[in-house]
Amino acid sequence: MLTFRKLASITEGALVQFVQDWPVLDLLTDSRKLSQPAGTVFFAISGKYNNGHKFISQLYAQGVRQFVVEELPVEEQSRSYPEANFLQVTSSLAALQTAAAWHRQQFKVPVIGITGSNGKTIVKEWLAQLLTPDELVVKSPRSYNSQVGVPLSVWQLNEKHTLAIFEAGISQPAEMEKLQHIIQPTMGIFTNIGSAHNQGFDSVAQKVAEKLKLFAQADLLFYCADHEQVHEAVQAGNIASFTWSRKSKKADLIISGTTIAGAKTIVVYTYQRQKQRLAIPFTDDASVENALHCLAVLLYCGLSLADIQNRLDKLHPVAMRLEMKEAINGCYLIDDTYNNDLAGLAIALDLLASQPQRGKRTLILSDLLESGVPEEELYQQVAALVRVKKVDKVWGIGPTIQKNAEAFGGTGTFYSGTAAFLKQFKADAFRNEVILIKGARVFGFEKIVQAFQQKVHGTVLEVNLDALVHNLNFYRSRLAPDTRLMVMVKAFAYGSGSFEVANLLQFHHVNYLAVAYADEGGSLREHGITLPIMVMNPSVDSFAKLRQYNLEPEIYSLELLEQFLFESGGANARIHLKLDTGMHRLGFTESDFEMLFYMLEQHPKVQVVSVFTHLAGADEALHNDFSARQIANFRQLSEQVEERLGYKTIRHVLNSAGIVRFPEHQLDMVRLGIGLYGVEATGAEQEALQPVSTLKTTVSQVKGIGKGETVGYSRKGVAAEAKTIATIAIGYADGYDRRFSNGVGEVIINGKRAPIIGNVCMDMCMVDVTSLEVKAGDEVIVFGPQLPLVELAQKIGTIPYELLTNVSARVKRVFFAE
Ligand SMILES: *Cc1c(COP(=O)(O)O)cnc(C)c1O
């Protein structure tokens, strides 16, 4: 077993503080994911955006006693960790990898390593499912395939497992060697190589060569010989292989034909001189390719045709992400119904735990898949996890979990199966809860999800919470360590959903939120947001609300101040002063100062928390001089304010564009807005951000029209020749701007762009899909990663802000995390 002292020796680090030699049971890199302090070693990794060293004191308080660090806590701090072991290394990440590699070496089982541009996760999930009848499989949870994810995946391996399947992903040269060292695959699958996003590599050939390093010690590599660059590189590298191909007769598995029949693809193949037919329960190219990789492995393992067919029939699409959906009675669902193992459960419970404010936390859980841990112990572990993650209510479904109900200490309700649960299901039993639905495939939990779901209309705005966090981290990386961060969640968080976004920001410890109106702030409070909130447009009739909900007004004029002071009648209050330095919207000017200070002196219980101004042209370089003057002016004026007040305030100027353009003027705080939502307003660093929202709808009908016929109101869309048009379920009442009419706008259907034809109507519009493959029910992307907001805004002469905030309230928001 790995102990802390042993860890020190294999990582060649220095045991700078050593209390006792505890065992290493769990590796932790993300302080929020702590489950069991005893035996946990925290690796403080300093990444591009975050520095793990910041979380040591918090983890110590939570009971963690083993730390791997790159820098030591400063002298006076280190005295506050008398009971902890500290191991100092040059790279905590490398130490984590060394620990995992050492762990891997303790086992002799076959290990399949999977890499490639696409399909890694799906092939891994499917293979695990396909081989489970014969093997006890351990696999990477979700897509844990990075420099941190791989060590954590490999750490799960235990003596009971008979097969391991781990995926490996890289974004830069030299990374794969490290992953090879940790996974040490005995067999490999190279799924494919994409020509897309080659950042980090000089060429596709280099990328292939790097990826192949995963298989440096593997005895056998499965791949599709039709990917020429992969094929050439494998041949040149002399790696023993099992190939499949649609073109070459030399492959081990020859695919001589595929035909789509209903919802299946019939595959005719030749293996060991025998021609066979098989049905794959998918029709899209990517799924068929993924299934053929699996087929190659199953044939190699010697399974019979009947067995293979039987197992393939049970495959389902893998949900690559955890979806959060609104449900009945004010409930929220986290839908994770693909599989159910301990590692996956821990990840899903973390997401549940990050939703602290929505009332009760409920878990609906099926039996866990084979884990290699004895049943009783397994459910003890599950119950412990459930306690640590503060789940209030457990519904256990399945014979095994029911048998082990006692582990949950009488807190849960248990059923032998999904049908039994649904039979007693009463919607009224669930109210204002966040419900994690986590079940292995065989339990068919999608039926439970359906029972909880509200009707979904055709149009949804999908909000990618991971992208939000990515963008947050990007801006954080631009801030000096002590600069505070206020995030603007006005206008329904730029259309993305105020409460959900605010909740995430609270979880990620931003310092302040800002909304436009008191009502918005009140609603955040009702949902349990406890961060300080600034209200930018406090009207006189909202002052009572400000007090009730502990909201802090922006005060921008003497008149408003007078009304506020009158209303508050000498009570304590926290306010923010807005200065006008050139925007000429709201704010005090220097000529107001004498009166302003006089009034404030009369009301010593009113504290000026912050003083700020807003830049009029931070997004455009053209206005740099003007911005510089605004900033200089603000520095001077805010100094006067502090001098007269006799105390320090929080001073802030920069919006999203300002953070990028004027890093030297962060002062005490910045105000992040549009950048969080994925639009880099200066345009210089758009690449560093991830798009957050995707507006989607569906095709309602497809029809052909003849030459000369017209489409829509006012007969504006004229068909110069015969056309196929599709009617889609979005109109200006959903926020789809009428200026997109008549060919100005485009949408994406099945990966292809299609222009709007005719005028946009209230609830729908028509697109020209002539020569595209489109049918009713197909998904339509209105904007999203493939159809950027910036581009669409330009087409109609507006800015992305307007497109985002226009998406109407009737469009359902769906939140998800990878
Ligand atoms: C909206 C707003 C911001 C954020 O602006 P972005 O351009 O979205 O970053 C900052 N400060 C004030 C006063 C605002 O009203």
Q: Say yes or no: 111 and 217 in one domain.
A: yes
Q: Is 740 inside any structural domain?
A: yes
- Spacing, Cα 592 to ligand 1 middle (Å): 24
Distance CA 461, CA 806 (A): 12
User: Residues 86-112, buried b or exposed e (16+ Cβ, 10 A)?
Assistant: bbbbebbbbbbbbbbbbbbeebebbbb
- Spacing, Cα 456 to ligand 1 middle (Å): 33
Q: What is the CATH number of the domain that holds 466?
A: 3.20.20.10
- Spacing, Cα 616 to ligand 1 middle (Å): 10
Ligand 1 atom nearest the C-alpha of 490 is 1
β-strands 360-366, 433-438: how paired?
parallel
User: What pLDDT, on a 0 to 100 scale, did the predictor assign at position 202?
Assistant: 85
User: What pLDDT, on a 0 to 100 scale, did the predictor assign at position 198?
Assistant: 62
The residue behind tokens 């949902």 is 527
- Spacing, Cα 594 to ligand 1 middle (Å): 28
Q: What is the CATH number of the domain that holds 774?
A: 2.40.37.10
SS3 per residue for 164-208: EEEECCCCCCCHHHHHHHHHCCCEEEECCCCCCCCCCCCCHHHHH
- Distance of CA 558 to CAs 555, 595, 634, Å? 8, 8, 18
Q: Which residues lie with the beta carbon below 6 Å from any ligand 1 atom?
A: 488, 536, 614, 655-657, 671, 673-675, 681
Q: How confident is the model at residue 80 (pLDDT cuts 50, 70, 90)?
A: confident
Q: Say yes or no: 683 and 697 in one domain.
A: no
Ligand 1 atom nearest the C-alpha of 619 is 7
Q: Is 102 inside any structural domain?
A: no
199 vs 540, higher pLDDT: 540
Ligand 1 atom nearest the C-alpha of 681 is 7
User: What pLDDT, on a 0 to 100 scale, did the predictor assign at position 420?
Assistant: 92
Domain boundary among 395, 424, 455: 455
Residue from 671, 672, 799, 805 whose mutation best tests the ligand 1 pocket (most atoms within 8 A of CB): 671
Sequence-distant (≥ 6) Cβ neighbours of residue 93 within 8 angstroms: 43, 45, 147, 148
Q: Say yes or no: 743 and 669 in one domain.
A: no
- Spacing, Cα 303 to ligand 1 middle (Å): 62
Q: Say yes or no: 394 and 445 in one domain.
A: yes
Residue 454 has pLDDT above 70, yes or no: no
Q: Count how many domains the chain has.
A: 5
What's the pLDDT tens digit per position in 637-671?
Answer: 999 999 999 999 999 999 999 999 999 999 999 99
Distance CA 584, CA 587 (A): 8
Q: What is the CATH number of the domain that holds 357?
A: 3.90.190.20
Q: Say yes or no: 682 and 784 in one domain.
A: no
Q: Say yes or no: 672 and 714 in one domain.
A: no
Strand partners, 488: 514
Q: Say yes or no: 715 and 595 in one domain.
A: no
Q: Say yes or no: 161 and 280 in one domain.
A: yes
Query: What separation, in Å, do the N-terminal and C-terminal C-alpha atoms of the chain show?
Result: 33
**Using an 8 Å Cβ cutoff, are 325 and 427 in contact?**
no
Q: Helix 92-105 vs helix 175-183: angle between axes, to the nearest 10 degrees? A: 30
The whole model's pTM is what? 0.71
Closest CA to 450 of 327, 364, 626: 327
Ligand 1 atom nearest the C-alpha of 675 is 9
Residue from 475, 513, 655 whose mutation best tests the ligand 1 pocket (most atoms within 8 A of CB): 655
Instruction: DSSP for 396-428, please give it.
Output: EESHHHHHTGGGGTT-EEEESSHHHHHHH--GG
Neighbours of 579 (CB within 10 A): 26
What domain range includes position 395?
Answer: 322-455
The answer to whether 762 is annotated as binding is yes
Q: Say yes or no: 309 and 363 in one domain.
A: no
Domain boundary among 395, 425, 455: 455
User: What pLDDT, on a 0 to 100 scale, did the predictor assign at position 388?
Assistant: 87
R_g of the chain computed on alpha carbons? 29
β-strands 765-768, 723-728: how paired?
antiparallel
Q: Is 803 inside any structural domain?
A: yes
Closest CA to 39 of 48, 26, 58: 26
Domain boundary among 431, 455, 479: 455
- Spacing, Cα 654 to ligand 1 middle (Å): 8
- Distance of CA 682 to CAs 459, 630, 634, 658, 660, Å? 30, 18, 22, 9, 8
Q: Is 99 inside any structural domain?
A: no
Distance CA 731, CA 761 (A): 5
Query: CA-based angle 423:424:428, to the nearest 5?
Result: 125
Residue nearest atom 6 in ligand 1 by C-alpha distance: 673
Q: What is the CATH number of the domain that holds 184?
A: 3.40.1190.10
Residue from 614, 652, 801, 802 whose mutation best tests the ligand 1 pocket (most atoms within 8 A of CB): 614
Q: What is the CATH number of the domain that holds 48?
A: 3.40.1390.10
Neighbours of 131 (CB within 10 A): 21
Q: Say yes or no: 670 and 713 in one domain.
A: no
Ligand 1 atom nearest the C-alpha of 554 is 13
Q: Is 98 inside any structural domain?
A: no
Ligand 1 atom nearest the C-alpha of 672 is 9
Q: Say yes or no: 283 and 351 in one domain.
A: no
**Using an 8 Å Cβ cutoff, are 557 and 586 in contact?**
yes
Average pLDDT over residues 61-89: 89
Residue 88 has pLDDT above 90, yes or no: yes
Catalytic residues: 490, 713
Residue from 484, 485, 488, 498 whose mutation best tests the ligand 1 pocket (most atoms within 8 A of CB): 488
Residue nearest atom 10 in ligand 1 by C-alpha distance: 655
Residue 763: exposure state from Cβ atoms within 10 A (0-12, 13-18, ≥19): middle
User: What pLDDT, on a 0 to 100 scale, did the predictor assign at position 455?
Assistant: 55
- Spacing, Cα 681 to ligand 1 middle (Å): 11
β-strands 533-535, 723-728: how paired?
unpaired
Percent of the chain with pLDDT over 70: 97
Residue 370 has pLDDT above 70, yes or no: no
Q: Is 101 inside any structural domain?
A: no
Q: Say yes or no: 446 and 466 in one domain.
A: no
What's the pLDDT tens digit per position in 736-745?
Answer: 999 999 999 9
Q: How confident is the model at residue 436 (pLDDT cuts 50, 70, 90)?
A: very high
User: What pLDDT, on a 0 to 100 scale, did the predictor assign at position 702?
Assistant: 96
The residue behind tokens 């505890």 is 22
Distance CA 281, CA 316 (A): 8
Using DSSP's 3-state secondary structure scheme, residue 18 falls into: coil
Q: Is 220 inside any structural domain?
A: yes
In Å, the largest CA–CA distance within the chain is 96
User: What pLDDT, on a 0 to 100 scale, did the predictor assign at position 591?
Assistant: 96
Distance CA 435, CA 428 (A): 14
Q: Is 645 inside any structural domain?
A: yes
Average pLDDT over residues 224-248: 94
